[in-house]
Structure formats: structure tokens, C-alpha cells
Amino acid sequence: MADGLWSCCPSRNWEYWKMIRPERRVRNAPSVLRGWSGVGLRSWGAGSAAGAGTAAGVAGARSRGSNPASSCGNMRWNDRGEVMGRNRRPARRGLKSRQDIKKRDRLARSPVKPDVGTFPEFRRASVADQAAAALRESIRQGVWGDLLPGEHELARRLNISRPSLRAALARLAEDGVIEVHRGRRTRVRPTGRERCEEVPPAVCLVVPARREPQGLADHPVITQMRALFAVQGVGWEEVFDHALARRDPEVRLTHLVQNRRHVCWLLLSASASLQRWFEASRLPTLVLGSCHEGIRLPSVDLNYYAIGWHAAGCLAKSGHRRVAVVLPHRALAGDLACLHGLVDYSRRLREPIEVAEVIAGPTRASFVAALTRLLARPERPTAIFCIHVAEALLVLAHVLRSGLRVPEDISLLCRETIPAVDAGLPELTRYGRQVVRQANLAVRIARSMLAGQHVPARAHMIMPTFLPGGTLAPPPSW
């Protein structure tokens, strides 16, 4: 019985099947062995059932007109254990030789190395970007002298079209490397070669405020971006200057940007005049926030309009018809977008929401006085929507000190959150930001600018996360 069984095996010895893993033995076994009734390969020759199954399988193979010593069913094998195809050559499917089996088992036993060679985030460069990089390098090496060849000659040497060449020349002109005049040859500026010298990339964060009271230096997105830039070898610099918030910051900005090369400028809490100056200077600039009306710069921010729209929907669903919005003393573009979203949604309702604006400032005493007048109205608001967490905490303390309850008498919502608020009681109804996603997007855009690539001037909006909390409830009279 055993001799008949071993004669059915492709290699006619146990070494071939011993090298195959147990979970693959049944799959790689001949069809005559897979046809046993309820007997696995591990029970070969262990009882009369195995013998009966073997005899039946061999008999079935012989009845089909095939030799069980050289073939099993529809599968043909040679003396080396290789599966034979119809053309008498080893088939490419399955296991072909003992060397392949040993190699496979050796790779399977080898430890898996951790994925430490991850690629940094990159962006495909366009033809114009590649041409601009090639021209910048040739200017740095002094290949052309003071005048560049004509468009036809440059396009022929670079093997690109003339529109792509014009786009590359326009980007070099934006960087201050060349001067392009219609009807005349392109001239290299006196400082053009200096601008093409290799300078380590860096980013500079510009904040028109003091560092201490605002707490912007510990902003979660800024902290994440600083860590990402440090890993990628990009320098980091911060400029906190409250004088930049004036209406005419041109002199200080000119002194700030001079002698700084290969820098991407990051604007945080920037005023309209500050954003307008960087837009006119055509420097690589990224706004960490929203752009003011009429300003075209790349920006990364939360969709504050959607926050206002969603907050108005939650308030209307709860039955609130009188809402007060607490705006900062110096409202930014995102603050105004949030207010517009809330007002636009309320106007679509059959019974619109009455929105009252309260300015938080310029001092704390004036803000408390404004809250006192607001709560003393005959028809006081049933909900208060705050922009910043500091204002929401002050409103919460003032409402509780006035003898009112939150949310039984007045509901409270906040547009943003900080980690310290997550452990507060009552838990504030607020909106959270996706810090990692926002930081990764901002870093990717800044790296594209540092690489000389063209970044379109559009807003990159990220949807926030709504955290229900426990300070939103229907009004008392609802």
C-alpha cells in the first residue's frame, strides 16, 4: 500500500512534500490524493480508510488512461517534481523546482524589516517648473552672461514649447532673477546670480501681535508644522511684531524681507494691509488662515463659513430664535466668514434668527459691560456663539455669576477648542480642527513654493469636527 502511495507522488520521495508548508500540502497534492474521502495528507497510510482511498484513487487514475507514476489526473509531473505543460515543458504556474521552494521558505523565515524608508511628500513638477530650474542653474553658473538667448533658441535648447518657456521666464522674473521686456532680449539682473546661489530653504512665520498674550506660539498647528519642517531639514523663524498690525506696515515689512532669500513666508492672524503687501511683493507667501476680500494668496484654513452655517442649523433645530455672536475686537477674515454663514442660514428659515453682535474689547472691562447690557435686555438672547475659547470661558463665568444656568437658561457654543477645555465641566459645545491634516497640507504647499513650483492662489478649506458637548439645549420657553 505504501509503495503504491509513494508512486503517485511527483518526486517519489518524502523530501519534496516535507519542504512544503502544511497549509499548502493539500493544494499542491495530486488530484488523486485530494480525492480521498475525508482523509488528509497527514494521515497517509494510517488505517484501512487511507488504503481504500489510495486504491480507489489509483484505480480511478488508471481508468482515465493515465500512468499514476508520472501523472495524477489532469496534472503532469516530471522526475524533478515540476508541473509539466501541454508542450512538454515545465509550466510557469505553481512550484517549479526544489530550489524555488527552498528560496521561498528562506524568504518566509527571514524577519520582516520595518518600513523606515518612507518617501517625503512630493509634488510632480510641470514642464515650466523644470525649465525654470534649468535656467536658474545655468544663470548661476554664468552660462549666458548678461543677456539670455531669444525664445526660439531657448525653446530649441530646452526642447519645450514657447508657452512653457514663457511660463518659466515669468517665474524667474517673479523671483527677481531676470528682467523681461517686450521686444527686447531678456536680461539677467545684477543680483540675479546671487539669488540663484544655493541657500538652505527656510520658512518665516509672521504674526502681527505680541507673543505672550495671544498664545499663538503654542498653536497646535504651528507646533505640528515646526516639527515637520525640522524633520525635513527646513529652517524655521518666527517674527512677532504688533507694529505690523497698523494700516501702513510697508517700511517694517521692507526691512524684514530684505537680505532673506529662499524663504517662504507664513502669515498668521494677518490683517488686510499685511496680506495686500505680500500679494503685491509677489513673494512666496502662504496664509495660515483665510484671505481678506479681494486678496489672492494661497491659504490653508478651516471652513469657517461651514461652521457658521452648521451652528445656525443646530440652534434653529433646538428652537433658538435670538442669538448673540461674540466677535473679537479685531475681526479677521475667518471670523467674518463664520458670521456670514450663520446669518445666511438664518435668512433661509421661515422664522429667521435674530442675530446680535457683541464686540469683545478692546478691554476686559468693556467686554464685561457689554455682556451685562446684553443679559439685561427684556428679550435677552437664548444662545451665545463665541469665536475664541477665552471669550467663551469669560461668557460662561459671567452668565453663571449673573444667576443664570447653562444650558437651561442660555446655551453656549464656541467656534474652536483647546486641550484644556476638553476636561471642563460642563463640557463646552464646540468645533475641533484636524491639526495633523491641516499642518501636513500647509507644509506640502510651503515645500512646493520653496522648490520654485507654481502654486495657484486659492483657498484650501478643511472641514472641522463638531463636538456636541453639554452646553446646547432648547430654550426655556420652547
Its domain, for residue 238, covers: 202-301
The total of structural domains in the chain comes to 4
pTM to 2 decimal places: 0.60
Summarize pLDDT for 386-409 with one digit per residue, the tens.
999 999 999 999 999 999 999 999
pLDDT at 177: 83
Summarize pLDDT for 1-43 with one digit per residue, the tens.
444 444 444 444 445 444 544 444 444 444 434 443 333 333 3
pLDDT averaged over every residue in the chain: 78
CA dihedral (356, 362, 365, 367) in degrees, to 10, reads 10
Cα gap 234→229, rounded to integer Å: 5
Classify residue 187 by burial, with Cβ atoms within 10 Å: 0-12, 13-18, 19+: middle
- CA distances to 171, 249, 332, 427, 457 from 273, rounded to whole Å, are 25, 8, 12, 38, 17
Tell me the residue length of the chain: 478
pLDDT at 260: 80
Q: pLDDT grade, residue 429 (50/70/90)?
A: very high
CATH number at residue 184: 1.10.10.10
Residues 348 and 407 grouped into a single domain:
yes
Percent of the chain with pLDDT strictly greater than 90:
40
Summarize pLDDT for 287-312 with one digit per residue, the tens.
999 999 899 999 999 999 999 999 99
The residues, ordered by sequence, that sit 6+ positions from 355 with a Cβ below 8 Å of its Cβ are 323, 324, 325, 339, 342, 343, 346
Residues 329 and 429 grouped into a single domain:
yes
Residues 239 and 131 grouped into a single domain:
no
Q: Which of 282, 301, 320 is a domain's end point?
A: 301
Query: Does residue 455 carry a pLDDT above 70?
Result: yes
Give domain status of residue 441, yes or no.
no
pLDDT at 327: 94
CATH number at residue 427: 3.40.50.2300
More confident residue, 238 or 12: 238
Summarize pLDDT for 358-388 with one digit per residue, the tens.
999 889 999 999 999 999 998 999 999 999 9
Residues 339 and 410 grouped into a single domain:
yes
Query: Does residue 44 carry a pLDDT above 80?
Result: no
Residues 339 and 419 grouped into a single domain:
yes
Task: Answer left, alpha or beta for residue 406, where phi above 0 means left and psi between -120 and 50 means alpha.
Answer: beta
Q: Mean of the pLDDT values across residues 220-231?
A: 91
Q: Check: CB of residue 352 under 8 Å from CB of residue 320.
A: no
pLDDT at 280: 93
